[in-house]
């Protein structure tokens, strides 16, 4: 039996669903000769530790027995246990937490991340972290960074590493913005109401401005570009920001949520300009030959693939030399706690095969 210890940072929507999926899949893991445990769970201030792995009562135990912590103390504690296969799962959206990645890898942790920040740091830092991973022979998996549970990163990487020439990637990369524009285009609701609905369904980032500003889509575009070994930075992406500057600058999410009704009039006007067979779509596009990375709001015909998307579906069209004018298409739920957590579990299984 191969034993794997998961140290879970972030127990919000994705993290807590991940715990439940891991607990429920124990029999399936055993059939694969795997024993997968979560001995430590943490939010931004509190850690709960149970060496033999947390169980079904983890939420109550976290409340009752959680203790304040520093990441360094967690690393020391894990080292003292001599566990053989330790994986840090990053289910936070925190830039601060990413500062710990190098230290974690130097202390024998593999990393699996839903958090996109590490892959969108300045290119030098991105490249440096790859060197650290190589030096310490550790793995870093992040399939859920793009398209939640959809197999986008791995598909693109496999195409590229097998010598296929990828010429363009285009599509609706954001599950929340897909849901927002699907619902807003079809239903008689204010834009602000639809954004609140997307938040309540767990599709948005913890700060919905990260989606509405185009940052989340720009990050995904950059991550895919870097899989093609293109050394772009976030600043290279031309982004249509849907959040006016004065709302971006307000510092709390709550303040933004209170003022988001300011956007209603502008979006109602955009909607009134649509023809009967048109919907709004927020798309990302990477044109490899023309070196264009762009994130923009467009009108799409309902009958074409972009326009026909439903719910929180994302769609990735990958154009390559072999596929010619008919792109390889990956489509399905692009956001949501269940699909994202399952993507993380799937990364754990992939990692288990490699170690």
User: Which range binds ligand LTNE7NMQ by CB under 6 A, 91-99, 203-211, 274-282, 346-354?
Assistant: 203-211
Based on the shown chain and the rule CB under 6 A, indicate whether residue 174 belongs to the binding site for ligand NDP. Answer: no
- CB nearer to ligand NDP: pick between 44 and 79: 44
- Which tokens hold the place of 237? 């992406």
Q: CB of 210: closest distance to ligand LTNE7NMQ in angstroms?
A: 7
Q: CB of 281: closest distance to ligand LTNE7NMQ in angstroms?
A: 14
Based on the shown chain and the rule CB under 6 A, indicate whether residue 216 belongs to the binding site for ligand LTNE7NMQ. Answer: yes
- CB nearer to ligand NDP: pick between 129 and 319: 129
Q: Distance between CA 243 and CA 120 in Å, rounded?
A: 21
Q: Distance between CA 36 and CA 18 in Å, rounded?
A: 12
Phi-psi domain of 16 (left: phi exceeds 0; alpha: psi -120 through 50; beta: other): alpha
Which residue in 3, 116, 220, 302 is the catalytic one?
220
Based on the shown chain and the rule CB under 6 A, indicate whether residue 72 belongs to the binding site for ligand NDP. Answer: no
Among 90, 199, 211, 347, binds ligand LTNE7NMQ (CB under 6 A): 211
- CB nearer to ligand LTNE7NMQ: pick between 85 and 204: 204
320 closest CA partner among 312, 332, 329: 329
With 0-12 / 13-18 / 19 or more C-beta atoms within 10 angstroms meaning exposed / middle / buried, residue 221 is buried
User: Which range binds ligand NDP by CB under 6 A, 5-13, 230-238, 267-275, 276-284?
Assistant: 5-13
- Which tokens hold the place of 133? 């991973």
Q: Distance between CA 210 and CA 221 in Å, rounded?
A: 14
**Which residue's CB comes closest to ligand NDP?**
12
Q: CB of 110: closest distance to ligand LTNE7NMQ in angstroms?
A: 21
**Which residue's CB comes closest to ligand LTNE7NMQ?**
176
Helices 264-272/191-200 angle, 10° precision: 110
Distance set, CA 19 to CA 1, 267, 345 (Å)? 21, 38, 9
- 279 contacts 303 by C-beta, under 8 angstroms: no
Q: Distance between CA 277 and CA 151 in Å, rounded?
A: 31
Among 113, 335, 348, 351, binds ligand LTNE7NMQ (CB under 6 A): 335
Could you say which of ligand LTNE7NMQ, ligand NDP, none residue 174 binds, taking C-beta under 5 to 8 angstroms by partner kind? Answer: ligand LTNE7NMQ
- CB nearer to ligand LTNE7NMQ: pick between 37 and 205: 205
- 34 contacts 84 by C-beta, under 8 angstroms: no
- CB nearer to ligand NDP: pick between 97 and 101: 97
Question: Strand pairing partners for 315?
Answer: 172, 331
Among 175, 225, 284, 327, binds ligand LTNE7NMQ (CB under 6 A): 175
Among 62, 97, 256, 267, binds ligand NDP (CB under 6 A): 97
- 335 contacts 179 by C-beta, under 8 angstroms: yes
Q: Distance between CA 45 and CA 62 in Å, rounded?
A: 12
Based on the shown chain and the rule CB under 6 A, indicate whether residue 9 belongs to the binding site for ligand NDP. Answer: yes
Question: Strand pairing partners for 81?
Answer: none
- 41 contacts 62 by C-beta, under 8 angstroms: yes
Could you say which of ligand LTNE7NMQ, ligand NDP, none residue 214 binds, taking C-beta under 5 to 8 angstroms by partner kind? Answer: none
Q: CB of 336: closest distance to ligand LTNE7NMQ in angstroms?
A: 8
The reply to whether 220 belongs to the active site is yes
In eight-state DSSP terms, residue 32 is T
Residues taking part in catalysis:
220
What residues line the site for ligand NDP (CB under 6 A)? 9-15, 42-45, 91-94, 96-97, 114-116, 144, 148, 175, 202-203, 205-206, 335-337, 340
């Amino acid at each position: 039996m191969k034993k794997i210890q998961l140290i879970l940072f972030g127990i919000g929507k994705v993290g807590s669903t991940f715990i439940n999926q891991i607990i429920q899949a124990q029999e399936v893991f055993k059939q694969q000769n795997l024993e997968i445990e979560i001995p430590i769970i943490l939010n931004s201030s509190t850690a709960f530790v149970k060496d033999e792995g947390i169980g079904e009562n983890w939420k109550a135990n976290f409340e009752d027995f959680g203790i304040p912590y520093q990441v360094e103390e967690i690393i020391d504690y894990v080292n003292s246990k001599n566990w053989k296969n330790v994986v840090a799962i990053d289910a936070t959206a925190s830039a601060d937490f990413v500062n710990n990645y190098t230290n974690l890898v130097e202390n024998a942790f593999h990393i699996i991340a839903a958090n996109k920040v590490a892959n969108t740091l300045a290119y030098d830092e991105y490249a440096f972290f790859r060197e650290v991973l190589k030096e310490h022979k550790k793995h870093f998996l992040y399939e859920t960074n793009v398209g939640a549970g959809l197999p986008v990163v791995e598909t693109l990487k496999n195409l590229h590493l097998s010598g296929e020439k990828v010429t363009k990637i285009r599509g609706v990369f954001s599950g929340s913005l897909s849901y927002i524009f699907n619902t807003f285009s079809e239903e008689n609701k204010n834009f602000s109401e639809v954004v609140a609905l997307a938040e309540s369904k767990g599709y948005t980032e913890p700060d919905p401005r990260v989606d509405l500003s185009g940052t989340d889509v720009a990050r995904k575009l950059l991550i895919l570009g870097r899989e093609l070994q293109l050394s772009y930075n976030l600043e290279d992406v031309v982004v249509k920001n849907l959040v006016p500057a004065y709302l971006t600058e307000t510092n709390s999410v709550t303040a933004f949520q209170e003022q988001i009704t300011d956007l209603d009039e502008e979006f109602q006007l955009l909607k009134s300009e649509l023809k009967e067979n048109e919907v709004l779509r927020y798309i990302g596009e990477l044109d490899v030959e023309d070196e264009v990375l762009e994130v923009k709001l467009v009108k799409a015909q309902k009958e074409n693939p972009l326009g026909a998307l439903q719910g929180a579906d994302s769609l990735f069209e990958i154009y390559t030399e072999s596929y010619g004018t008919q792109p390889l298409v990956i489509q399905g739920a692009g956001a949501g706690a269940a699909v994202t957590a399952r993507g993380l579990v799937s990364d754990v299984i992939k990692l288990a095969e490699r170690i």
